[in-house]
Each structure stands twice: as C-alpha cells, then as structure tokens.
Amino acid sequence: MADLVEKSKKLSAYAAVDDNLLPSHRVIGIGSGSTVVYVAERVGQASNKSDLVCVPTGFQSRQLIIDNGLRLGSTEEYPEIDIAFDGADEIDSNLGLIKGGGACLFQEKLVAACSKQLVVVADYRKDTGVLGKGWRKGVPIEVVPAAYTKVSLDLVKLGGKPVVRSGLPAKAGPVVTDNGNFIIDCDFGEIPPAQVAELNAKIKALVGVVETGLFVGLASKAYIGNADGTITKKTV
Ligand SMILES: O=C[C@H](O)[C@H](O)[C@H](O)COP(=O)(O)O
C-alpha cells in the first residue's frame, strides 16, 4: 500500500511536469509536501534548468530547489510566475482544494495567486470529489498567534470544530508556521463544491486569519496518480 501510494505520487508529478513545463517557461512555482519532491526532481532534470528560476512555498520547498540544483527566486522578485506545481490534501469536482496539511498554506496560496496556472499533483487518495470527505482533520487556517482564541470562537459560530494544531511529539505547544503563525484545523464536515468559495470568504473575513487552506478557483489542472499505474488528468 505505502509503495503504491509513493509510486502514484511520482507518476503524477513526473507526468504533470512533462506535460506542462514548456520551453518558454522561465519562472516556476514549486509547492510543498511529499508529492512535490518528485516535481522538483523532474524539473531538476530539465535540459534548460539553468534558464529557470524556481519560487518556493516554504522552507521545505526552498531546500528541494537547492537540492535539485535549481535557481531560487522569491515572490518579491518574481510576482508573475509562469506555472506552479503543488500537492493537495483533498481535491473536489471543481478542482477546489484543501491544502496546509504540512502547515505551508499561506506561501502556497501566495505563489498560486502569482501564477498564470496552478497544476496539482496528487495520489489517488486525495481525489474524493468533495472537500472534507476523505480529509477528516479539518480545514487548515493560518492565524496570528495573539488572535487564536478569538478566531476559534468565531469559527464555532461559523459551524466549525476548531483545534489548534499541536507540535507534539516534536515540539511542546502549537505548530509554528514558516511565517511565525499558528494553524487551526477546523472541521466543517463535508463542504459541497458549490459552497467552498462562500465558506472560504467567511473564514478569510475573520480578524486574525492570515489565510485559509481552501483553494478555490486557483487550480487549472490536476494530475492524479492511480494505484494501477494510470494517470487521471482533470481540468476546469
Ligand atoms: O502544507 C502542505 C501542503 O499543502 C501540501 O501540498 C499538502 O499537504 C499535500 O502534501 P502531500 O503531497 O505530502 O500529500
């Protein structure tokens, strides 16, 4: 099972890069997580890799870019990115996403918003069609530390069940993001695809919320690696 999942991740990542990285592309967004490891590997094999600048979505992603001999850039230098590749915790039928299982959602959304297109890479477990169906840990929400109790109360009023993400066993106390903030995981049950944008807007409007792990209207394609070695390609 673990081997099948790993193979599916690599399959989706390699196919996504092979199909979508064009010779004209110069600035590439490289996302976070275990699937994107294979994206960075494949981009690092490109014959024109010295012409590329890669913009990371966090500390892990930055290391992947360096480890694969690619040139690092930033959103400050490159606010217009040709294409970004990133993983997802869950994918719905509109290519709405839950992201942030690895606490990287803010910089991921920033890179996605800077990119002309976002291509999602994922194994077959993520493609459930409805957010909250397979990913039962809740929607990750990045909050300013001083606001976490206030935002938690607000999220209950929105119908959610918020839990501040713990750093245990590696760290006593909450997880601290690459931006120095906390993550609240908020369970809203299953979120119908047509209601994702509205829920995202309501959470985003709360004072203290930096960004949400609901990605709506950002992904243009998804490459799902299947257990049988095939790939499902989805577009909106
Ligand atoms: O914060 C983490 C990111 O949103 C990841 O892209 C997401 O958790 C998917 O990661 P993986 O490819 O390891 O399942």
144 C-alpha vs ligand 1 centroid, how far in Å? 21
Query: Given this model, what pLDDT does residue 1 score?
Result: 76
List, run by run, the mean pLDDT of 10-residue segments along the chain (236 residues).
93 98 98 98 97 98 98 98 98 98 98 98 98 98 98 98 97 97 98 98 98 98 97 97
Residue 47's DSSP bridge partners are: none
pLDDT of 231 reads 98
Atom of ligand 1 at shortest range from CA of 99: 4
Instruction: Output the CA 135–ligand 1 centroid distance in Å.
Output: 12
Catalytic residue among 76, 77, 108, 198: 108
Say how many C-beta atoms besides its own lie within 10 A of residue 168's C-beta: 10
Whether 198 contacts 191, CB under 8 Å: no
User: Which atom of ligand 1 lies nearest, measured to the CA of 213?
Assistant: 4
Q: In angstroms, what is the span from residue 88 Cα to ligand 1's centroid?
A: 5
CB 88 within 8 A of CB 120: yes
ipTM for the predicted complex comes to 0.98
Please say whether the beta carbons of 182 and 140 come within 8 A: no
- 73 closest CA partner among 130, 13, 26: 26
108 among known catalytic residues: yes
